[in-house]
Structure 1
Amino acid sequence: MAWSTQQLATIANTTVNTVRHYHRIGLLPQPERSGNGYKRYGIPHLVRLLRIRRLRELGIALTQIAAMDHDDAASLDELRSLDAELSTTIERLTRVRAELALLLAHEVPAQTPPGFAEMAQEFSPRQQSLLAVYATVFDEPTLEAFRRALSDPDPTDEEFDRLPADATDADVADLARRMAPAARRQRRDHPELVDAAERSPHGEAAAGLILAHAVVELYNPAQLRVLQRLDQIRQDDAPADRP
């Protein structure tokens, strides 16, 4: 029995154009022709076409299929390589789905980094924006230390976030004084956060500029004054911290 190009394509569940394309690139051998010039395809052509379709379904490129045809060992190696690639892809997609589930469950912004979804639910928009900046500036150990620090919040954190831009000097000084013990504990319990910019993937100088821009643009004038007072307190503490 012999089939025409259309009949072969129909049996293999493909198209005439696909069959012709495989002829052009040398993947499918040309069949014999009948006396009237029509192509006459047989079982070997059908099996060959089904093999090509199956390998394409498995994700093998046409150029790779050509190389596999002449070496059974190469064919198996290609399948093993594809299997390893798919395994990596599945692991990545599984991780992404888990992260998406947390983002959706806690209704937090998409830029929330892994590990922060649950706590970010309670963050203000300003805090969420800062967190996104920190996630790109800090290296992984520093970001993990930051996550641990955030898991033990101080009551003054919320006061600082709500501090109005027109807060008086007395209010600023009082808040800075009450925030200082928490700042000291953070330096003691999470030393990775001290001079964190030094270990940034962006480099210390670039990281410092990014953080400075974020602070200036996201905090209001009164909050910036609180931070300045806290930095002064830190500097005053420094001699006592030295051995």
Structure 2
Amino acid sequence: MAWSTRELADLAGTTVNTVRHYHRLGLLEEPERRYNGYKQYEVRHLVRLLRIRRLADLGVPLGQIGAVAGAGDGAPQALQAVDAELAASIERLQQARADIAAILRDGAPADSPSGFESVGSRLSEADSSIVHIYTRLYDEQALADLRAMVETDDDAVKDEVDALAPDADEETRESLAERLAPSLAQNILDYPWLSDPASHLSKSERVTQSTFVEAVTELYNPAQLDVFARAGIRANEQVSALRAAQAAAPQDGGGDRA
């Protein structure tokens, strides 16, 4: 019995182009040709093709099939490497499904930053962009804290800052800064690492600082940056005053005992 390329491909559940590709890679031996020039494949070609397809279905890269086929000494190590890659792929797919479920559940934009799906609909275009950048600069704990900050944001003040015109007047800027400062101060108290984030960086301090400066300068207009700067100064002043008051307060020693 002899098969043509198309017949062989059909038997193996693949395509003519795939069979030809295996020939080019040297995985499948070229058969003899009939008098009319057509290839004539035999059982050994079919078996070899089925073995190749089996290994490919397991995830073995085509470049490693020659070494893995049969009972070669390198087969266990190669299969273990493939298994590790498959496990990583499964983990990525499971995470993707979880993220998609969160996006659909919360009605968040499809391109919400990873881990921020539950608050994605509350982020402005600029805020979403900056959070995307933060995911490359900070560790998982810091990102979890940032998500918690978004969840407790004062939406009214945030919406006004988002809508602030580049040429907003002094009174408007000052008012927004005053109203934004308390939530910033609370964040500093709740998450002390904000004052010294070095231990939560996934990149170097130099890269983080330069990237942050470039990002906020491009993503926010001058008036918004001015409000952030003023609010940050006031927030730190409020935190310092509160800590000073706490340090000066008398400690409760339980009173004198008779």
The TM-score normalised by the length of structure 1 is 0.73
Q: Which residue of 1 aligns with 2:2?
A: 3
Q: Which residue of 1 aligns with 2:204?
A: 203
Structure 2 unmatched runs, 5+: 248-258
**3-state SS, counterpart of residue 137 of structure 1:** coil
Matches of 1:20 and 1:103 in 2, distance apart? 41
The answer to whether 1:213 aligns with 2:203 is no
Deviation (angstroms), 1:59: 3.4
Asked if the contact 1:156/1:178 (under 8 Å) is kept, the reply is: yes
Q: Which residue of 2 aligns with 1:118?
A: 118
Q: Deviations over 1:149-193 (max 9, x none)?
A: 111112433333333334332332233223222221110011122
Matches of 1:227 and 1:74 in 2, distance apart? 59
Q: Which residue of 2 aligns with 1:224?
A: 225
Matches of 1:10 and 1:172 in 2, distance apart? 71
Give the 3 Å change call, closer, same or farther, for CA 82–121 of structure 1 in structure 2.
same
Q: Which residue of 1 aligns with 2:151?
A: 151
**3-state SS, counterpart of residue 133 of structure 1:** helix
Q: Which residue of 2 aligns with 1:47?
A: 47
Structure 1 unmatched runs, 5+: none
Deviation (angstroms), 1:229: 2.1
The answer to whether 1:172 aligns with 2:149 is no
Matches of 1:86 and 1:109 in 2, distance apart? 26
Give the percent of matched residue pairs that are identical in Structure 1 and Structure 2. 32
**3-state SS, counterpart of residue 135 of structure 2:** helix
Matches of 2:20 and 2:130 in 1, distance apart? 57
Matches of 2:82 and 2:53 in 1, distance apart? 16
Asked if the contact 1:165/1:223 (under 8 Å) is kept, the reply is: yes
Q: Give the counterpart letter for 1:121 in structure 2.
A: S
The TM-score normalised by the length of structure 2 is 0.69
**3-state SS, counterpart of residue 231 of structure 1:** helix
Q: Give the counterpart letter for 2:222 in structure 1.
A: P
Say which is worse superposed, 232-241 or 90-99, in terms of deviation: 232-241
Asked if the contact 1:187/1:193 (under 8 Å) is kept, the reply is: yes
Say which is worse superposed, 16-25 or 71-80, in terms of deviation: 16-25
Q: Which residue of 1 aligns with 2:93?
A: 93
**3-state SS, counterpart of residue 121 of structure 1:** helix
Asked if the contact 1:8/1:41 (under 8 Å) is kept, the reply is: no
Q: Deviations over 1:48-103 (max 9, x none)?
A: 44323333343334553332345266545544543443232122122223323434
Asked if the contact 2:119/2:147 (under 8 Å) is kept, the reply is: no
Q: Which residue of 2 aligns with 1:60?
A: 60
Asked if the contact 2:157/2:179 (under 8 Å) is kept, the reply is: yes
**3-state SS, counterpart of residue 170 of structure 1:** helix
Matches of 1:21 and 1:206 in 2, distance apart? 46
Deviation (angstroms), 1:143: 1.6
Asked if the contact 1:149/1:190 (under 8 Å) is kept, the reply is: no
Q: Give the counterpart letter for 2:93 in structure 1.
A: L
Matches of 1:7 and 1:206 in 2, distance apart? 56
Q: Give the counterpart letter for 2:192 in structure 1.
A: P
Give the 3 Å change call, closer, same or farther, for CA 184–68 of structure 1 in structure 2.
closer
Query: RMSD of the TM alignment (CA)?
Result: 3.9
